[in-house]
Chains A and B, each alone.
Chain A
Amino acid sequence: MTETFYDVLRRQGISRRSFLKFCSLTATSLGLGSAYAPKIAHAMETKPRTPVIWLEGLECTCCSESFIRSAHPLTKDVVLSMLSLDYHVTLMAAAGHQAEKQLEEIKKKYKGNYILAVEGNPPLNEDGMFCIEGGRPFVEILKETAADAKAVIAWGACASWGCVQAAKPNPTRATPIDKVISGKPIVKVPGCPPIAEVMTGVVTYMLTFDRIPELDRQGRPKMFYGQRIHDKCYRRPHFDAGQFVEHWDDDAARKGYCLYKMGCKGPTTYNACSTVRWNDGVSFPIQSGHGCIGCSEDGFWDKGSFYDRVTDIKQFGVEANADKVGGTAAAVVGGAVVAHAAVSALARARNQTGIDVPKEGDK
């Protein structure tokens, strides 16, 4: 019999009191309120420790690196107590045949019950051999492993949208995983990388409630990706007041004014950076003086320079009056967001990332 999550915690010497405290912290960190704590506790007392297979395709390992930065819960506790990280090339002790055997065993033993977490993406050009694992194309291993998964998590911009290797002209035809995996629920957790506590937040949510979080139209959890960085940005009052940084290190920069004119993509980016913040809440890009580069948005590499303004205000002839800039820009940006959302996924993939979407029946 597989142990429950609670059994595991108890077995590891964690008291009931600490366990309940953990549950209420989890509830709070997920924004669910303390009323949910008993529900989480009940779920954890009755559910087994879920196996996780973590595959890496074309990527840079920033997602794994981010994951191990999680402060609440600690990665140590996630790996030892909350799930069973049974295959993860960057962290696992085994290698070669023993690693391949481990993958096969987990797939068989937990058929239909494991979570597949994917970092990076498969390249489809050159028969997939731009990313080789065990002498075979990564895309084959990905498809095989997805076939028996319970659910799939797409970590980061690579797995979700394609990211940097899929930027024009996407030479390897790096392809987001939802274009090669079908028939499985896929949770996209974009960002380059995603915030550590968002990653562990999504995983613990899935383990706790035994379901995937509610997703938006693009497949992202609404709980963390439902709001624009701009709307929760602590520098927003400066935007509304028309107080902008005009040059790097100018007086306005030293006062922490709005970075909109320096190209900040906060107005078109949906992520939790301005609320959860980074590395245990220490800061986030805007707080440290650089605009948001929009790294959780689809095709963010191909939307012009990171230092171009989101909307060229000059075209609208409002720059003359600094007081008017904030309000007008907000209206313009709002329009851009609506237009952005209206673009179909297919067109987006073709036009912005240079990805050819494989037709049904293609290999």
Chain B
Amino acid sequence: MATNASTFVRQSMLEAKPAPSNQTGASHWIRTRLFATPKDIVLTVLALALIAYIVPGMINWLFIDAVWSGTDRTACATVIQGGVLPDGQSGACWAFVEAKFQQFMFGRYPADERWRPILVAILFAILLVPMLIPKAPFKGWNALALFIILPFVSFFLLSGGFGLPHVETPLWGGLMVTLILSFFGITVSLPLGIILALGRRSNMPVIKTICVVFIEVIRGIPLISVLFMASVMLPLFLPDGWTFDKLLRALIGVSLFASAYMAEVVRGGLQAIPKGQFEGADSLGLSYWQKMRLIILPQAIKLVIPGIVNTFIGLFKDTSLVSIIGMFDLLGIVVLNQSDANWSTPVTPITGYVFAGFVFWLFCFGMSRYSAFMERHLDTGHRH
């Protein structure tokens, strides 16, 4: 009864006091993140100097001094180079990219038929977007349409047949070829890599040896030598009268190359699965393939998603090497167009590279961000 009278005990909680003003806000952030120690001050000043040195010039070159429209090289060349710009001005020649944009996308694909690659791109996007959204339904049918049906449909749409005029593959080019190569490479290399990884972990000596030799040889040599092999040796391996399309040869080379790397990534995942999972599956009476399909691979693949996406990104970047064996992917067509006398100015090459680099960067960065999202989404909290 008397306890109620203890007036000096507070009955309600006090509101938390705000942090001291020097512990919050912008000033605190600047003090701790930019000027914490003398060393930090020096580093910050140096970094600011670097930014001040590079960024204004870059913005100038990319946007302010850049030429945005024009019909030929005179728009981007200075007076001394035979153009209209005042001497000493140097900026990106976006007019060049604008004029060649169709080529950069489709290569030398006939202008009247360009609706076909556009249609393929639209179909691809329609099928890909629900595939990437984890909550979208009908994943199985979607995958079937994307990975099995779409390639055949696109092949006939792009190369012709069924009443459409035939367009030979040497005319294909630009971003279209880059995307075809990487999509095909990704679609083939993941299953092939899984099979190779399983083969390498197999206890059948013959199969294991074949897989190990294949993986290690491919991983030991550069992609260019694989592409050279595909372009100069494959014709030797075939019987008389058989010819392989150049694009197909590149597709085979790129896919085999990526599958060896994929196999090593998947093997890492397989090795991380505890032995108990294998034994548990065995004790349930599952067959080898059931065990792998239902128990092991879902866990293993989930573990190595970052590695798989890294391989995809590597594959996407590596497709640029086909320009060395004379195909015109995005980089190849940019390089080809630089020798166009109509557009030859000192800034044309670098503009082309900045454009191509930006497109490559966009795709690769997108892939890496998506993989980070998937990693978080699939994280079931079993990580140790």
Q: Do A and B bind each other?
A: no
Binding site for A on B (CB under 8 A): none
